[in-house]
């Protein structure tokens, strides 16, 4: 019985002119979105690989040089482009893609794409996630808002009921009939995107696909609930659109404004000034006259039981440089941890607000699975910092071990440069991503169950 209803719904949908139009628009938009995203993705990928190779070449081309000069010359860490960014570019546009790794300072990721675009970019981009998150739910609403109300308006509901079908079966059939075409379309979109992407981890893509299917199932249930509870198609449509606008546009913006008001970030200028202030208090590798340097001197002489710095088995200048580096790294760590605290608090607020709209958990999971969320960016920044600290250590150690005090003209062999490994960034693996998203997953599931519950309730009211 359920399948009969579903088959009838599908037949009706397929035959309606409205569906053909909408299907045409959605397919066109998704094709254009996928194609353009693919072109941009490839171009950006090429640029990054090229830049990374060139940066390495420039690094190695320094040849025989003073290790500390090399540390100042520095190099770059590039964030790789992840394959699924093609489906959901997430916050990529607003985070930088490269971090300059140099002595004495931890730099922020730079080159935010949004700053290189016009103000219109804030309206959003035509990417597959835009179609999936905003347009497809609209399509579900447009197709399903009248699925029950029409039967009521035309008086066919009573006739159907005389056929011996229960309300629940009828609603289940309607639900399936409305859902299957959308599910098929989504699946096709994912298959096409997968063909474009080529190389990817299927676990991520499959989960992403399931997340969107769950999101659409929620939207579909809500649509049918409203259609069952209202008496006219017009009211049903207006109510559903109001729900759509609230959940997809208003709630995310309210969440963002609210979160920022509750847990604001410091300004860049404040952040940098605080770091500079802390740095001033501690050991500066370049300043042998400071209080902290003198202290280090005394301690080192005592530890090695010698009277003069010249008698130490290593170059004290370089040793001090390394100690200064470690001290600075601690300061950067402390301040970034504080920033991360704020980020975590903000994330918690977002996750709490996700209860208000199924859009939010879907949005967050989608970005997370595509490795284009803010956490991945933090992960990248932390890895780059680890790499920078390691790099300084190798360089300073070489300097300390192979030169004498005051020997600033010392040049290390060119092979030292290749001892510094190339920067490689590995994003979190599947299990880690899923456990980081357990709250989002829970809320999405709760939404799914609640919407089904509502549907069962609504089926008793037709």
Partner 1 sequence: MVNLNIRHELKLLSRNFWFVSLSLVLVLLCLYAGHNGLKHYERRTADQQEALAAQQAKEQLIKEVALTLSKGEEHPNAYRLSPMNLAISTGRLGTMPATQMSKLAIGQSDLYTHQLKIALNEDLATLSFNELNNPVQLLFGNFDLAFVLTYLVPLIIIAFTYNLRTRELESGRLKLLASNPIKINLWLLQRFIIRYFFLLLILTAILLATVLIARTGFSMQLLVFFLLTYAYLAFWFAISYLANLLGRSSARNAVSMLSLWILLVLVVPTVINQAANTVYPMPSRVKLLNEIRQTKKELSKEQNKVLDEYLRNHPELISNKGENAYGYWQGYFASQELTEKRLAPLIERFDAQLAKQQRWVNAWGILSPAVMFHDGATRLAGTSSAHYEQFKDYVRSFSLNWRAHFMPFVFKNEMLGLQELDNLPEFQFRSRSRTAGVFMNISVLLVFSALTVIWGLALEGKRQLI
By the rule CB under 8 A, 183 interacts with partner 1: no
Least gap, CB of 443 to partner 1 (angstroms): 16
Q: Assess 356 for contact with partner 1 (CB under 8 A).
A: no
Among 138, 157, 160, 356, binds partner 1 (CB under 8 A): 138
Q: Between residues 406 and 453, which has the closer beta carbon with respect to partner 1?
A: 406
Facing residues of 236 across strands? none
Tell me the C-alpha distance between 151 and 158, whole Å. Answer: 8
Q: Which of 253, 308, 424, 461 binds partner 1 (CB under 8 A)?
A: 253
**Rounded CA separation 358/247 (Å):** 7
Q: Does 233 bind partner 1 (CB under 8 A)?
A: yes
Q: Which lies closer to partner 1 via its Cβ, residue 114 or residue 462?
A: 114
Indicate whether 55 belongs to the interface with partner 1 (CB under 8 A).
yes
Nearer to partner 1, 31 or 114 (CB): 114
The alpha carbon of 272 is separated from its chain's Cα centroid by a whole number of angstroms, namely 25
Is 424 a binding residue for partner 1 by CB under 8 A? The answer is: no
List Cβ neighbours of 159 (8 Å cut-off, separation of 6 or more): none
Q: Which one of the spans 48-56, 214-222, 291-299, 413-421 is the region binding partner 1 (CB under 8 A)?
A: 48-56
Nearest Cα residue to 221 out of 458, 457, 462, 452 = 452
**Nearer to partner 1 (CB atom), residue 233 or residue 290:** 233
Binding test (CB under 8 A) with partner 1, winner from 259, 368, 437, 440: 259
Q: Give the whole-angstrom CA distance, residue 248 versus residue 126.
A: 16
- Mark the segment that binds partner 1 (CB under 8 A) among 5-13, 135-143, 166-174, 315-323: 135-143
- Is 34 within 8 Å of 196 (Cβ atoms)? yes
Binding flag, residue 250, partner 1 (CB under 8 A): yes
Closest to partner 1 by CB, 4 or 49: 49
Give, for 100, the enclosing helix (H) or strand (E).
strand 98-101
What are the angstrom distances between the C-alpha of 294 and each of 49, 285, 315, 320?
45, 12, 16, 10
Strand-pairing partners, residue 100, are 76
Q: How far is CA 432 from CA 85, 192, 243, 369, 429, in A?
A: 18, 27, 33, 10, 5
Distance of CA 135 to the CA centre of its chain: 21
Interacting residues with partner 1 between 336 and 355 (CB under 8 A): 339, 343, 346, 350
The reply to whether 200 sits near partner 1 by the rule CB under 8 A is: no
Q: Is 462 in the site for partner 1 (CB under 8 A)?
A: no
Give the nearest distance from C-beta 76 to partner 1 in angstroms. 6
Q: Which of residues 297-316 bind partner 1 (CB under 8 A)?
A: none
Q: How far is CA 304 from CA 288, 294, 322, 334, 404, in A?
A: 19, 16, 17, 31, 16
The only residue of 4, 39, 188, 206 in contact with partner 1, by rule CB under 8 A: 39
> In whole angstroms, how close is the CB of 181 to partner 1 at the nearest point?
18
């Amino acid at each position: 019985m359920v399948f009969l209803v579903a088959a009838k719904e599908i037949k009706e949908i397929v035959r309606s002119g409205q569906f053909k139009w909408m299907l045409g628009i959605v397919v066109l938009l998704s094709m254009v979105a996928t194609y353009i995203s693919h072109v941009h993705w490839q171009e950006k990928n090429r640029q990054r690989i090229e830049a990374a190779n060139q940066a390495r070449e420039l690094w190695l081309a320094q040849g025989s040089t003073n290790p500390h000069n090399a540390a100042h010359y520095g190099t770059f860490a590039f964030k790789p482009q992840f394959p699924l960014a093609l489906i959901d570019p997430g916050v990529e546009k607003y985070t930088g893609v490269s971090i300059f790794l140099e002595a004495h300072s931890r730099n922020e990721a730079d080159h935010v794409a949004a700053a290189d675009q016009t103000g219109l970019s804030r309206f959003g981009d035509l990417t597959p996630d835009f179609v999936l998150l905003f347009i497809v739910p609209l399509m579900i609403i447009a197709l399903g808002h009248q699925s029950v109300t029409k039967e009521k308006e035309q008086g066919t509901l009573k006739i159907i009921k005389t056929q011996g079908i229960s309300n629940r079966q009828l609603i289940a059939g309607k639900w399936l009939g409305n859902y299957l075409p959308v599910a098929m379309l989504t699946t096709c979109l994912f298959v096409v995107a997968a063909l474009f992407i080529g190389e990817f981890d299927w676990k991520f893509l499959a989960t992403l696909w399931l997340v969107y299917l769950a999101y659409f199932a929620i939207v579909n249930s809500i649509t049918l609930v409203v259609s069952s509870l209202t008496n006219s198609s017009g009211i049903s449509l207006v109510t559903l659109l109001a729900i759509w606008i609230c959940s997809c546009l208003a709630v995310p913006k309210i969440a963002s404004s609210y979160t920022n008001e509750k847990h604001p970030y410091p300004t860049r200028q404040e952040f940098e000034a605080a770091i500079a202030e802390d740095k001033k208090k501690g050991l500066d590798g370049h300043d042998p006259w400071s209080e902290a340097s003198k202290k280090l001197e005394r301690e080192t002489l005592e530890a090695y039981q010698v009277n003069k710095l010249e008698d130490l088995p290593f170059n004290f200048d370089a040793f001090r440089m390394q100690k200064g580096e470690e001290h600075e790294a601690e300061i950067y760590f402390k301040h970034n941890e504080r920033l991360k605290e704020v980020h975590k608090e903000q994330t918690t607020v977002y996750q709490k607000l996700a209860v208000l709209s199924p859009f939010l958990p879907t949005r967050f999971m989608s970005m997370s699975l595509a490795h284009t969320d803010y956490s991945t960016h933090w992960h990248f920044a932390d890895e780059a910092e680890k790499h920078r600290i390691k790099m300084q250590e190798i360089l300073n150690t070489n300097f300390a071990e192979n030169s004498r005090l005051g020997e600033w003209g010392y040049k290390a062999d060119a092979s030292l440069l290749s001892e510094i490994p190339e920067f490689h960034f590995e994003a979190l693996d599947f299990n880690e991503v899923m456990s980081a998203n357990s709250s989002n997953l829970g809320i999405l599931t709760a939404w799914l169950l609640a919407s089904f519950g509502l549907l069962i309730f609504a089926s008793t009211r037709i």
